[in-house]
Chains A and B, each alone.
Chain A
Amino acid sequence: MKHAAFIRQAQALQAIALLLLLSQVITELLPATALGILLALALRWQKKLPRRRLISLGLLSLWAINQLIAGAAGWLEAASNLVWLLAALRLLEANDRKNIGGSGLLLLLALGLAGLKANGLGASLLAAVAALLVLCSLLGVQQGAEKLKLGLFGQAVALLSLALPLAVGLFLLAPRLPALWQMPGANSASTGLSDELDPGSIASLVQSDSAAALLQLKEIQLPPPEARYWRVRVLNNFNGRSWQPGPTVPLERNPLPVLASKQQQRWTYQGPERNTLPWPGVGTPQDHKQRINRNGELLRASNNSYVLLKSTNQPSWQMQPPLTIQGQWPMGSNPQLEALAWQWQQQYQDPRQRVAAAYHWFKAQGFEYTLRPGLMPTKASLDAVLFEKKRGFCEHYAAAFAALMRAAAIPARVVIGYQGGEWQPAAGQLQILQRDAHAWVELWLPPGQWRTVDPTAWIAPNRISQGVAASLSARDQQQLGRPMLGWFNQLLLPWQKLDQGWSEWIISFDRAQQNQLLEKWLGPEASIKAIQILAGGLCGLLFLGISLLWRQRQLQRGDKAKQQLDKLLHYLAKKQLRPNPGESLAAFIERVQGQEIKLKPDLIEFQDAYYRMRFHENCDEKNEQERLRIVVKNLFISSKCRMNSSQLK
């Protein structure tokens, strides 16, 4: 079936928008979703496509099966995948104006869902371009443009530019409701830390340039790079291959703050939604609802901005004796590692000696710190890291060292979080990025305290002092997307700054920041005032629009001479007497007089009054208006009389 040109254009624009959307979420796609979308896009341009609904049904079933098999992903991921697939399938069906509108709307929803996964500046710009294309498709369908013209894009841009101020106003002023329900699986987004330590999870994270957190210090000195460990999640449960969080409970009471002290850390978490937030492990939350648990994890209270005050004493989570699970070791999972640990256990009575032995052993092995350690075997994977490949990233060494210590009868756990960060002296803040993700180990050592030990610092000291990039080989740098070319990095710098600004000002703008901003602008009871301003603004906008329309009408009404001229022309048009293009009023009236002699006196009267009103300096406008009105009225009355008399005949 051949569709109108404007329908085909709208389909093409929406297909491009869909491809832009896919480029943002390519890593989030289930195989069935990716296959379905590609198939739908490929079939879109087939001339004869039987049973489109059957194809759609088949692809949806495939997605459902894939979802059942994948299983572990949260419902948000499942719903996102479903919406992306539906957007593609809808495009397959969109053959008329109504369906183009529907598929455009579905694409906008899909873009919103993609924004949950990818919210960096680049991804957001791509989303904006995709939204612009969707708008173009809707405009094109309503205008029926046969050829794709730049004007259409211009109109879409103009429309967006007009809508943007209102959208910004709403973004700043519209009240943000608290979360209506807990989003399961929201903390497992790819751009943030995972809750498990699977091989390769952090290596993929350090390739992301998106923001993780922002730290502002008040009357506190910035710790040296070696001491910048920002803990997020503690993993207690080891199954022989990977580390997972175990059960935990919040502490009964947070450490007391030092009331006289003004020292505080102001944190803004900028990553995907999660339940535990980064912190240095010392200090106490200003918000009494925010709790620390016995693992030393800071739990999220209501928003992503939080303040830590200086606390009185040593953090109590460090003193919490190890749970049984923190000493458990699956026997036989990594035999070589067990043998080495058993040897140290026999050799050294004091756990600290065993740690020292491990340090010397790690230093002597010549481990390589790399993003690409290659695939590890499923069985005895940690043996492979320590004794065969001898290559790995922080996650491999932290996992292997913690396992080694547990095998050597020292309670151990893995901590994941961030290490380092970029100090921005102008802003007086430390920017922590996802690429600063790191894993280290905590051991329960005499005299009864959890101590931080980082095996990565033994293997690659530069990682701790200078960041990930400084400690990797040139080939790894390429994989990070940050080649060691000074000029290239220089070129990227402005973009990175922009991206940082976007994350800082837009993406991390939450309820707390909104309240702060509103209080700064509007003083106390800012929320109510904001609602009033917003409502007032919307009413004002409506009023402005209506008054503009009204004004337009009044302007048309206001020119009395033109109104009477329009009436006259309308009257003459009924007699098939219309002015020619470029013909003056005088010439037209003269021509009409020739054809309709009866009208001659009225027309001369009209012309005289009209020209007086238009051009005479000392014209009595009211009088002339009245003259014009009477002439036109006479014409209509005489015309009616003539009609009636002809009917009587």
Chain B
Amino acid sequence: MTQQQNLRIGLRRVFILPSALGLLWAAVGGLLYVMGVNTSSNVPLILGFLMLALQLLAIFLTAQTLHGLQLQWPTQLEGWAAEQLPLMVQLTLPKGSRYLGLQLGPKGKRWEGICKAGVQQIPVPWQSKSRGIHKLPRLRIDSQAPLGLWVCWVRIQTNSEALLYPAPIAGAINEIPWPQASGKQQPKPNIEPHDFHSLQPHRPEEGPQRLAWKQLARGHGEFSKRFEAPTAQAVLLTPQKGMAKEQALSAIAARIQQLAANGESYGLQLLHLNINPGSGTNHRRECLRSLALLP
């Protein structure tokens, strides 16, 4: 299970500054004051003063909007480079609802929306072009409630890390049929026993061993798992000679994605890295992680 980190936002972390609307609001209040003074008319004057009073009051109210907000987020993420990888933030709002904005780092894509009282999951988008382990930038949460005149925000050090696989970009690679890869006797491809090809309606004579329990538990009905050994020959994926390293890794990652989708068996043969052919989710993850962490 992935580790989670918790935080409850206190006032100590909150920063506050006037928003663009707040600056315009102050300007209109000033304009109404000048108009009232110049025409000796008290209605614009009162309105101007009321706007100023509301703006001052809004400082305290806005600072309170983030107070008491509870956050929980995972400390480990995995995904592809150059693709959006959302950090799923679980946000608990004690009461009321408000419009919030969440953003990872100054260049991150912003999530904006209404958060209601209670618990909700918010996907805060983030992406990086390069593979490897990345430390996530600081998470910024902001709000302009109640009137939009001030913007208050907190910046949180998430201490989360993202492992990014090479961006899957199709390209030329070498595929060596695995039994012919060397003259020695090779072990059997590592096919995970829990991997099944498809589901078909369950018949009582097939017994409970083949019953798809997960689907049954989800209320989708009784199905039997149909196992099939991969028909295609297992291959070892190696980069083409003379190709740039990152380009080659991207091409291998794309091919892994393709082979895994077809349920075929594959392995990796790189300079210092050898992974025997296999299939299944864990194998795919192992291969991609190795590509991501390759020095």
Contact = CB atoms under 8 A, between A and B. Distances in A.
A142 B99 contact: yes
Q: Give the most central of A112, A131, A186: most B CB within 10 Å.
A: A112
B31 interface: yes
A649 B140 CA distance: 36
Contacts of A178: 37
Interface stretch (B52-60, B237-245, B280-288): B52-60
Given A143-B98, A171-B46, A163 B57 contact: yes
Interface string A113-144: 10110010000100100010001001101111
A111 interface: yes
A553 B44 contact: no
A116 B96 CA distance: 39
Interface string B26-46: 001001101111111111111
Given A112-B48, A164-B50, A97 B42 contact: no
Q: Give the most central of B25, B36, B98, B146: most A CB within 10 Å.
A: B146
Interface stretch (B4-12, B119-127, B183-191, B265-273): B4-12
A540 to B, nearest CB: 12
A119 B21 contact: no
Q: Give the most central of B38, B40, B44, B113: most A CB within 10 Å.
A: B40
Contacts of A177: 37
Contact of A112 (B32, B38, B146): B32
Interface in A142-198: 142-145, 155, 159-160, 162-164, 166-167, 170-171, 174, 176-181, 183, 186
Contact of B97 (A131, A145, A179): A145
Given A163-B54, A166-B56, A112 B1 contact: no
B48 to A, nearest CB: 7
A574 interface: yes
A167 B145 contact: no
A552 B11 contact: yes
A119 B41 contact: yes
Interface in B45-87: 45-54, 56-57, 59-61, 63
Interface in A511-566: 538, 541-542, 545, 548-549, 552-553, 556
B148 A138 contact: yes
A277 B97 CA distance: 55
Interface of chain B, main secondary structure: helix
B258 to A, nearest CB: 35
B147 interface: yes
Interface in A231-258: none
A600 B283 CA distance: 39
B24 interface: yes
Given A144-B99, A180-B34, A115 B146 contact: no
A145 B42 CA distance: 35
A313 interface: no
B114 interface: yes
Interface stretch (A30-38, A101-109, A400-408): A101-109
Interface of chain A, main secondary structure: helix
A573 interface: yes
Nearest to B31: A109
Interface stretch (A414-422, A441-449, A502-510, A611-619): A502-510
Contacts of B113: 144
B53 A163 contact: yes
B99 A97 contact: yes
A97 B20 CA distance: 12
A573 B53 contact: no
Contacts of A111: 47
B3 A574 contact: yes
B37 A176 contact: yes
A6 B99 CA distance: 11
Contacts of A112: 31-32, 35-36, 43-44, 47-48
Contacts, number: 160
A167 B99 contact: no
B12 A553 contact: yes
Contacts of A159: 54, 57, 61, 146-147
Contact of B60 (A98, A273, A549): A549
Given A113-B35, A119-B42, A155-B146, A101 B10 contact: no
A91 to B, nearest CB: 16
Interface residues of A, number: 67
Given A109-B31, A143-B146, A545-B60, A170 B52 contact: yes
B144 interface: yes
A176 B42 CA distance: 11
Contacts of B57: 159, 162-163, 166
B114 to A, nearest CB: 3
A186 B146 contact: no
B222 to A, nearest CB: 31
Contacts of B97: 143-145
Contacts of A574: 3-4, 6
Contacts of A553: 10-12
A576 interface: yes
A139 B53 CA distance: 16
Contacts of B116: 144
A304 interface: yes
A541 B148 contact: no
Nearest to B20: A98
A164 B53 contact: yes
A570 interface: yes
Contact of B35 (A116, A145, A570, A576): A116
B40 A115 contact: no
Contacts of A634: none
Contacts of B36: 112
Contacts of B114: 6, 143-144
A105 B25 contact: yes
A142 B43 contact: no
Given A115-B47, A116-B41, A143-B98, A101 B53 contact: no
Contacts of A155: 146
Given A159-B61, A508-B42, 19 more contacts: A108-B51, A112-B48, A115-B44, A115-B47, A116-B35, A116-B39, A116-B44, A119-B42, A124-B43, A135-B54, A142-B148, A143-B99, A143-B146, A144-B98, A144-B116, A273-B41, A303-B40, A506-B42, A545-B59
Interface of B: 1, 3-4, 6, 10-12, 21, 24-25, 28, 31-32, 34-54, 56-57, 59-61, 63, 96-99, 113-114, 116, 144-148
20 contacts: A6-B114, A112-B32, A112-B35, A113-B44, A115-B47, A119-B41, A119-B42, A141-B148, A142-B147, A144-B99, A155-B146, A159-B54, A159-B61, A160-B50, A163-B54, A178-B37, A179-B39, A180-B38, A303-B40, A538-B56
